[in-house]
């Protein structure tokens, strides 16, 4: 037990969230650099020949320079075992991010210093607050012209409704960026742009009490401004309170430049001290203790064709309690089947390592023969844990999808089904027919591009898509009590079924669902799917 406890307590499992282009993937790369996983950090953008970011492994991600799937990355640093869940920043892939946040114990929020809180940051932050996840803020790109620092903090507090506590403070920005003032050590850390994609680099520290040395290092004007700002800061900012941080009510704020590798290690060290180790999770009405209970986990992501040579499907599991040992028998709660997990692996983007053991907090990839769904629970055969399901978000865009070559029907149906099981798309059919007509629903339109690309590259199927006018969807909650085919609808309504044969209604107009309810007494409609 002592060994299990010490292993679990040294784990930190967190997601990195941001608006697109805030520098999230670049920051992830620098963390991996300090963990010794990579020798040089690859920039996300650049020519086709440039080195691509390690966490962006899917072909379309490399071509476009954006993250569209979440990657699980594990490495050791300073006595901690770190599990990073790198999430897509683009809003069209936000559903994948929502699911990934269910597997995290804390979140790192990356904000562009010149833009402040952006739309996607707000959305992701709401999910964190719903789960009371501790949030740590890294304000990035200080080597470029940034907003006033007090305005940035005010922006976070007003837009996100969370108090801020700056752990360090920037001295200027852009061409005038001189470094940061570290409040706890009362030292100036001098900015240098020489570190970039390496771990090496001399860090110059000067005691803030040595005013002559600070003046000489950063200049009289910057010194006066820093003195004025720190006096204001001491009176205006919230005091650091780790308990409030852990409750998700106070966010520690750090400043730096991920691209130039300045302030990143300072942030990483502080984060590991403050961030929680794996926390208990709800199973029904009871909390499952990560240390005291035996092995349990839940599936938060399914990804097909990570390895083109093997055409495989990997179910990503977050271990919630206990220890996994190779060859152990576990129960798949939803089916009741007792099984041995097939080829459990630890993943570093597309590279893999077969696992002999893993602990609460770890992310494990397991070969999926087609039995797992997102939200499924696994536990020891004697236990009956069942972790809460992960909600399915209502799609907002719909298209009729057909394969161009009618001879490739089987590959087309297989590809559509497998990509749908990953949660990236939702598939619907005419209520009365089989798979003759397939309607695909997505949260963001960019997912249509990914679908087209993946069917072509992974299944060798070319498709034609016809956009449909529907924007609103309702699940029929009481299908056993109503005659679905006799529902009195509106002219803009379409009756379809999902992959679990549950009936749904699609509408063009936002007022139509209410009209249908008024015309069909006793009918119950829901805006989301209960998995």
Highest mean pLDDT among 187-201, 299-313, 360-374: 360-374
Residue 33 pLDDT greater than 70, yes or no? yes
Q: What is the pLDDT of residue 391?
A: 64
Q: Which domains does the chain have, with CATH numbers?
A: 12-67+86-274 (3.40.50.300), 281-379 (2.40.30.10), 397-526 (3.30.70.3280)
Q: What pLDDT band is residue 443 in, cutting at 50, 70 and 90?
A: confident
Q: Provide the terminal-to-terminal Cα distance of the chain, rounded to the nearest Å.
A: 35
Q: What is the pLDDT of residue 140?
A: 96
Q: What is the pLDDT of residue 153?
A: 95
Q: What is the pLDDT of residue 128?
A: 78
pLDDT tens for 147-190 read 999 999 999 999 888 999 999 999 999 999 999 999 999 999 99
Residue 53 pLDDT greater than 70, yes or no? no
For the residues 63-82, what does the mean pLDDT come to? 68
Q: What is the pLDDT of residue 307?
A: 55
Q: What is the pLDDT of residue 425?
A: 83
Contacts for 49 with CB less than 8 Å, ≥ 6 apart: none
Contacts for 506 with CB less than 8 Å, ≥ 6 apart: 398, 428, 439, 468, 470, 472, 473, 493, 494, 496
pLDDT tens for 230-269 read 988 877 777 899 999 999 999 999 999 998 989 999 999 9
For the residues 315-341, what does the mean pLDDT come to? 93
Give dist(CA 10, CA 277) in Å, integer: 7
Longest CA span, the chain: 85
Ranges 317-326, 418-427, 449-458: which has the least confidence: 418-427
Q: What is the pLDDT of residue 350?
A: 52
């Amino acid at each position: 037990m002592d060994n299990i406890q010490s292993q679990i307590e040294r784990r930190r499992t967190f997601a990195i969230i941001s608006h697109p282009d805030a520098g999230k993937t670049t920051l992830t790369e620098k963390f991996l650099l300090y963990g010794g996983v990579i020798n040089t950090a690859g920039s996300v953008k650049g020519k086709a020949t440039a080195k691509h970011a390690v966490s962006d492994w899917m072909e379309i991600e490399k071509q476009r320079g954006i993250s569209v799937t979440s990657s699980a990355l594990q490495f050791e640093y300073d006595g901690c075992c770190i599990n990073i869940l790198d999430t897509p920043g683009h809003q069209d892939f936000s559903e994948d991010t929502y699911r990934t946040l269910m597997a995290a114990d804390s979140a790192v929020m990356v904000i562009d210093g010149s833009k402040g809180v952006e739309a996607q940051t707000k959305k992701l932050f709401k999910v964190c607050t719903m789960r009371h996840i501790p949030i740590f803020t890294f304000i990035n790109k200080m080597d470029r012209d940034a907003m006033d620092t007090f305005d940035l903090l005010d922006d976070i507090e007003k837009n996100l409704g969370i108090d801020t506590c700056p752990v360090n403070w920037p001295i200027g920005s852009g061409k005038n960026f001189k470094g940061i003032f570290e409040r706890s050590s009362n030292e100036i850390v001098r900015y240098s742009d020489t570190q970039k994609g390496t771990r090496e680099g001399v860090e110059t520290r000067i005691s803030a009490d040595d005013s002559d040395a600070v003046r000489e290092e950063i200049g009289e004007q910057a010194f006066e401004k820093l003195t004025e700002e720190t006096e204001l800061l001491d009176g205006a900012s919230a005091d650091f309170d780790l308990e409030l941080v852990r409750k998700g009510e106070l966010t520690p704020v750090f400043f730096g430049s991920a691209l130039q590798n300045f302030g990143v290690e300072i942030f990483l060290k502080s984060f590991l001290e403050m961030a929680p180790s794996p926390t208990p999770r709800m199973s029904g009405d009871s909390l499952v203790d990560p240390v005291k209970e035996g092995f349990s986990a839940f599936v938060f992501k399914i990804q097909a064709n990570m390895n083109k040579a093997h055409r495989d499907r990997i179910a990503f599991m977050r271990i919630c309690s206990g220890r996994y040992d190779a060859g152990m028998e576990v129960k798949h709660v939803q089916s009741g089947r007792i099984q041995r997990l097939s080829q459990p692996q630890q993943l570093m983007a597309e590279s893999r390592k077969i696992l002999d053991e893993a602990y609460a907090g770890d992310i494990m990839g397991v070969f999926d023969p087609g039995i797992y769904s997102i939200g499924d629970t696994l536990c020891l055969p004697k236990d009956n844990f069942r972790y809460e399901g992960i909600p399915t978000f209502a799609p907002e865009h719909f298209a009729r999808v057909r394969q161009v070559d009618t001879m490739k029907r089987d590959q087309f149906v297989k590809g559509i089904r497998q990509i749908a099981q990953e949660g990236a798309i939702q598939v619907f059919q005419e209520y009365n027919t089989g798979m003759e007509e397939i309607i695909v629903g997505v949260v963001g339109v960019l997912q249509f591009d990914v679908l087209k690309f993946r069917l072509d590259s992974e299944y060798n199927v070319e498709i034609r898509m016809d956009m449909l006018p529907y924007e609103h969807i309702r699940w029929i909650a009481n299908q056993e009590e109503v005659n679905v085919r006799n529902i009195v609808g509106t002219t803009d309504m379409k009756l379809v079924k999902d992959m679990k044969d549950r009936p749904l209604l699609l509408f063009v107009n936002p007022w139509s669902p209410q009209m249908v309810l008024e015309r069909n007494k006793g009918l119950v409609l829901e805006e989301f799917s209960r998995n």
